[in-house]
């Protein structure tokens, strides 16, 4: 009988774990594993960091619309030059 999930199992289930979508028995196993495994807990911290970065990038712009439009035009021009 397997008591704790492997690193592979934990990393495959981390999204569902963070969303609370796993059965209690799996959540407990992952929770215990994360307390003792530096690699998997680091993987989870990386997931949280990426999530925070995504939220920040999708947030409403803090610049005035005119400067955002100018920046967008500059980015589009740089892309055209590379193509």
Could you tell me which of 23, 37, 2 has the C-alpha nearest to residue 11?
A: 37
Domain count, the chain: 1
- pLDDT given at position 1: 44
Instruction: Kindly report whether the global pTM for this prediction surpasses the value 0.85.
Output: no
Task: Report the C-alpha gap between 43 and 34 in whole angstroms.
Answer: 10
Question: The domain that contains 11 carries what CATH number?
Answer: 1.10.10
- Average pLDDT in the 35-44 region? 95
Residue 60 domain-assigned (yes or no): yes
Residue 2 domain-assigned (yes or no): no
Residue 29 domain-assigned (yes or no): yes
Residue 1 domain-assigned (yes or no): no
Q: pLDDT tens digits for 43-61? A: 999 888 888 877 777 777 6
Task: Report the C-alpha gap between 28 and 52 in whole angstroms.
Answer: 25
Alpha-carbon Rg for the chain, nearest whole angstrom, is 20
Q: pLDDT tens digits for 16-36? A: 999 999 999 999 999 999 999
Residue 25 domain-assigned (yes or no): yes
**69 pLDDT tier (thresholds 50, 70, 90):** confident
Per the structure, the complete domain to which residue 20 belongs is given by 7-82
**71 pLDDT tier (thresholds 50, 70, 90):** confident
- pLDDT given at position 61: 66
């Amino acid at each position: 009988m397997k008591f704790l999930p492997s690193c592979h199992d934990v990393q495959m289930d981390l999204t569902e774990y963070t969303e609370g979508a796993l059965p209690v028995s799996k959540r407990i196993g992952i929770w215990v594993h994360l307390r003792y495994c530096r690699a998997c807990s680091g993987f989870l911290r990386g997931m949280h960091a990426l999530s925070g970065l995504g939220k920040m990038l999708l947030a409403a712009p803090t610049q005035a619309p005119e400067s955002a439009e100018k920046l967008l035009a500059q980015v589009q021009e740089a892309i055209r030059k590379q193509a």
